[in-house]
Structure 1
Amino acid sequence: MTRDTDYFKTFCKISKAFSTAITKQELLDLIVISAIDAMAGKAACLFLRDEKQDVFVPMAQQGLSDAYLHANPLKARDVVAALEKEGFLAFPDAATDPRLENHEAKRAEGIASLLTVPVIVKNRTIGVLSLYTGTQHEFEPDEIDFLRALAEHGGIAIEKTRLVNRLQKLSMLFLDLASSINSSLDIQEVLSNLTENICDTLGMKGVLIRLLDEDTGSLKLVASQGLSDEFLEIGSLTTTETATRALKGETIVINDATTDKRIRFKEAMKKEGIVSMIVTPILARDQVIGVMRLYSGVQREFPSELMVMVEALAHQGGLAIQNASMYLKLQEDKKNLEEDIWSHRSWF
C-alpha cells in the first residue's frame, strides 16, 4: 500500500466522521491519531489559541506526557507570525534547533523532529497542529500537504461546533429575554438582565444601554455590565460618529477601537481594555430611542448570525420599554377615568 493510499483512506475515514453524530472532541482526537498513524509519528497535538493569554492551549493530543504539554505554553503571536510567513514550520532536529525552546524537555520526551502547521478558520489562525517523531526526519512536501489538510479539517470541525453552540446560546438568550419581558414590567430589571446575559452568553467584556433624553439631547445610562464607572462617565455624548449613526438606525462594527478613526476616545478604550465593539440602535415603533453597545476585550470578527441576533435583542429591549410605557400610561388613564367618574357622581 502506498503512502498516497494511506492518506486517501485517512481522509475517507474523517469525512465519514463528519457525516455522523460525532462530537467535536472525538473528531479532534481522530485528527491527531490519524496524523500519527498515516505519518508514522511518535505523537501529535492540536492546540487552540487563547486570545486573552496569547498562548496556544492543547485541545487534543496523543503520545505526549502532561509534564511536556504544560511545561511552557506556546506563545501564539510569534508562532502565528512565522506560520503566516512560511505556511508551515519544520524542525528536523527539534532537540537542537535554535528556533525552538525547551531542548532538554524535548530530549527527555523522546522528540527528535517536529512539523507544525496552522489551523485556519476564515483566514484567521486559531490554532496549530503539530506532529512529533521519535527519530530525526526530513519532512517531504506530500507529508506537509497532508498535515495541512488535516489541520483544515480540524478548523472545519471547530467552526461547525462553534456555530451550533453559538446558535443554541443565542436562541436561549432570546428566549430568556422574551420570558423576562412577559414576566416583569420593571424596565430597569429587564434591561439589567439583558446586559448581564449578553455579556455571559457572547463572551463580551462589557455591555451598556443608553436611552435618548429628548429634553437634553444626551444619552442617559440605564443599564451596564462589566464596565468601570470612569469609562461610563464619558459615553453620554450623541455627537460621536458611532452614536450619530446608531441614532439614525445604523448598526456599526468596530474591529479595533484603539486605531479606528471613527472612535473619539481611543485612550479611554485602551485603558478599559476594549478592542472590538458593536453599536446598534434600540427602536420602539420604528423610532430610535437609544443605543446598545457591546465591547470585546480581544479583537473579534462578528459573524452575520450574531449581528442579526444582536439587532433583534436591541429591538426586544425597545419592545420592553414600549410595553412598560404603555402600561404606565394605561395606569394613568385608568386613574384619570376613575377621578372623572367620581367627580360626576359628586354632582348628585
Structure 2
Amino acid sequence: MNPAQKHKESEYLEVFQEVTRLISSVHDPQQVMDLVVLKLPKLMAVDAATIRLLDKATDSFVLGAACGVSDTYLSRATIDSREVMEELMKGRPTAKKDVHIKCDHDSYSYVTREGVKSAMSLPILYKNEVTGILRLLTRDSRKFSEEEIGFAMSLAEQVGVAISNSRMFQELENQVRFLSELREISRLVNSTLDLEVILQTIVNKLPQTLGLKGCTIRLLHPATNRLELAAASGLSETYLKRGSISRESSLFKVLKGEPVAIFDASNDPRVEYHDEIRREGIKSILAVPIKNESEIIGVLRLLTDVPRSFSEAEINFAVTMAEEGGNAIEKARTYRKITLLFNQIEEHEQFLQTILDSLWLQVLVVDPNQRVVMVNRVFLETCGNKEEQILGQLYEDIVPWRHRDMADCPVSKALAEKKALAILDYLQGDDVNEARWYERHLTPIVSTEGNVSFVIEAVRDITDQKLLEQEKMERMKLEGVVEMAGTAAHQINSPLFAALGTAQLVRDDLVSKESIEDIDFIIKNIKTIADLTNKMTKVTGFESRQYVGNTNIVKLKSKKSS
C-alpha cells in the first residue's frame, strides 16, 4: 500500500470516527439527520447532502433533512430515475456523473436550475431493510471512486443504525412520558361529563405533549353521518373555515379505523386545500380515528409546523388518546342525552301535573306494585297531606275510599284484567254521618308488550249529590201524601157536610131529651171529623228553599184561616 492510499484511508478513518462520534452524541432522530447533512458535505468534500426516509404508509421517500440545496429542488416529485430507485431498494448504492446532462426523468429542470452535476445515492439500511436514502451532491462534474462509494456506504449504514437507535431511545423516553401524559389527560377528560370541556381539553393538551402546531377534532353527526368540526386549537379561523374535508382520501382510511401519517402535507394528494395548508404553515399531519369501543365516532388530526415523520410511539399514543377520548366523549354524549330526556320528562310531567291540578276530580296514578307515583292538587287538599307524604306509599294506606276487604279493590282488578272500570261505591263508616258515596273511574295504561305500566284513577265524591237525591225523593213522597190528604179531605167533606145538615134538621124535630142528647153527640163527632178534614185541606201548600248550590228543597206549610 503506497503512502497516498494510507493517507486516504487515514482520512476516511478520521471522518468515520468523527461522524460516529457526532451521531452517537445525540438521541433525537431529527438531530441525528440534521447533524449528518450538516457535517458530511465538509467531511466528504461535497456541496450538499439530503436524507429521505421511507414512509411505509405511502411507499414513498419523504424528506428528513437537507443542507446545501433549495426548497424548490427538494419539493420535486421525482427523486431519481426508476433504475436508480430500484437499485437503492435492493440495498445497492449508485453514483452518477454529469446528471444535469444525462438526466432521464421529469426532474431535469430542477436539477439544471440547482446546478447539480454529480450525485451519489446510498440506501440507509437497518437490519438489511431499507429505511431511507442518503444523497451527496456536487456542483462540479465528479466521478466518485469505489473507495468513496464504499466509505459513504459505511457512513450510510452508521446513519441507519444511529437513526434507528435514536428512534428506539426516544421512543422509550416518549413511552414513559406518554404514559404519564395519557394518565393525566385521561384523568382530566374523565373528571367531567361536559362534552365541550372534554373536547377542548384534548385539543389543548395534545399539542403540548407532542410539540404540535395545532389539533382538531371532528365528530360524525348521527343524523347526517358527516364530519363536523367540534374543537380546535393552534389554528386560524380562516384555515378552519376553508371548507369540507369529507372528500379527502386520507379520511376514508381513517374512518376505516387506521391512522394516516402525512409528511409533506402541502403536496400530498391524500389531503386537499394545499394552498391553505401552505399559508397556515402546516408541514405534517397525523390523523387517527376516534373510537367508542368498535364504533368510529370521529377523527383526531395533529398538525405540525415543521416536517415530521411521526414515530410508532407517537402514533400509538395518539391512537390510545383518541380511544380514551372517544369513551369520554360518548359518556358525555350519553349524559347529555339523559339530561335532555330528564328535562323533557320533567317538562311533560309538569305539563301533565298542571292538567291534573286543573281537574276538580281527585286523581291518582298507581304503579303495578300499587304504589302511588302521582297525585293532583285536589286529592292533596281533600286529604290534607303534602305530596312527599303520599308519593311512594301503598295505595291502600293513603286513599280514604278503601274497603275493609281489599280483595275487592278495583285497582287490583284493573291491573289483573287490563280493562277500564267505572264503579259507584257506598262506604258506610262507624257513624251514619260518615257514610260517603264515590264515583270512581279506573283506566290501566298498557305498554306495547301488553303489561300494565300504570293505573289512573279519577274519583268524585258524590255524597252531597246523593243526599240531595234522597231528599228529593222524600219530598216527592211527601208531596204525594199531601196531595192524597187533600183529595181525601175533599172527598170526605161533601158527604160529611150533608150528614151534618141532616143531623141538625133532625134535631129540630126531636122532643125527647134522650134523643136530642144522642143527636147532639152525633153532630159533635161530625164536627170533629170536619175539623180534621179542614186541617188536611190546609196542608196542601209548600214553599221552595235554597239548599246547596243550585239545588232547592221544599218546606210544607198550612193555609192560614181567614
Structural mapping, 1:1-348, within 5 Å: 3=6, 23-24=25-26, 56=67, 74-75=68-69, 87=95, 120=124, 122-125=131-134, 141-183=146-188, 184-185=191-192, 186-234=194-242, 238=246, 240-297=248-305, 300-325=308-333, 345-347=389-391
In the alignment, the residues of structure 2 paired with residue 196 and residue 188 of structure 1 have an alpha-carbon distance, to the nearest angstrom, of 12
Q: 1:7 to 1:258 in 2, by over 3 A?
A: closer
Q: 1:177 to 1:151 in 2, by over 3 A?
A: same
Give 3-state SS (helix, strand or coil) of 2:297's partner. strand
Question: Who is 2:514 aligned against?
Answer: none
In the alignment, the residues of structure 2 paired with residue 117 and residue 79 of structure 1 have an alpha-carbon distance, to the nearest angstrom, of 16
Q: 1:9 to 1:234 in 2, by over 3 A?
A: closer
User: Larger relative CO (CA 8 A, sep 6+): 1 or 2?
Assistant: 1
**In the alignment, residue 289 of structure 2 is paired with which amino acid?**
P
Query: TM-score with structure 2 length normalisation?
Result: 0.38
For structure 2, which runs of at least 5 residues remain unmatched after alignment?
53-61, 85-93, 98-113, 126-130, 350-372, 375-385, 392-397, 399-562
Deviation at 1:157, TM superposition (A): 1.4
Could you tell me whether the CA contact under 8 Å between 2:245 and 2:272 is conserved in 1?
no
**In the alignment, residue 75 of structure 1 is paired with which amino acid?**
V
Deviation at 1:5, TM superposition (A): 8.7
Deviation at 1:312, TM superposition (A): 1.9
Deviation at 1:282, TM superposition (A): 0.7
In the alignment, the residues of structure 2 paired with residue 239 and residue 43 of structure 1 have an alpha-carbon distance, to the nearest angstrom, of 48
Deviation at 1:323, TM superposition (A): 4.1
Point out the structure with max Rg over C-alpha.
2
Q: 1:164 to 1:345 in 2, by over 3 A?
A: farther
Equivalent residues, number: 289
Deviation at 1:318, TM superposition (A): 0.6
Give 3-state SS (helix, strand or coil) of 2:168's partner. helix
Q: Deviations over 1:282-301 (max 9, x none)?
A: 11132221111223445554
Could you tell me whether the CA contact under 8 Å between 1:281 and 1:292 is conserved in 2?
yes
Q: 1:171 to 1:192 in 2, by over 3 A?
A: farther
Could you tell me whether the CA contact under 8 Å between 1:192 and 1:224 is conserved in 2?
yes
Q: 1:289 to 1:147 in 2, by over 3 A?
A: closer
Q: 1:325 to 1:139 in 2, by over 3 A?
A: closer
Q: Supply the RMSD in Å over aligned alpha carbons.
A: 5.7
**In the alignment, residue 26 of structure 2 is paired with which amino acid?**
K
Q: 1:222 to 1:260 in 2, by over 3 A?
A: same
More divergent stretch after superposition (255-264 vs 287-296): 255-264
**In the alignment, residue 284 of structure 1 is paired with which amino acid?**
N
**In the alignment, residue 166 of structure 2 is paired with which amino acid?**
T
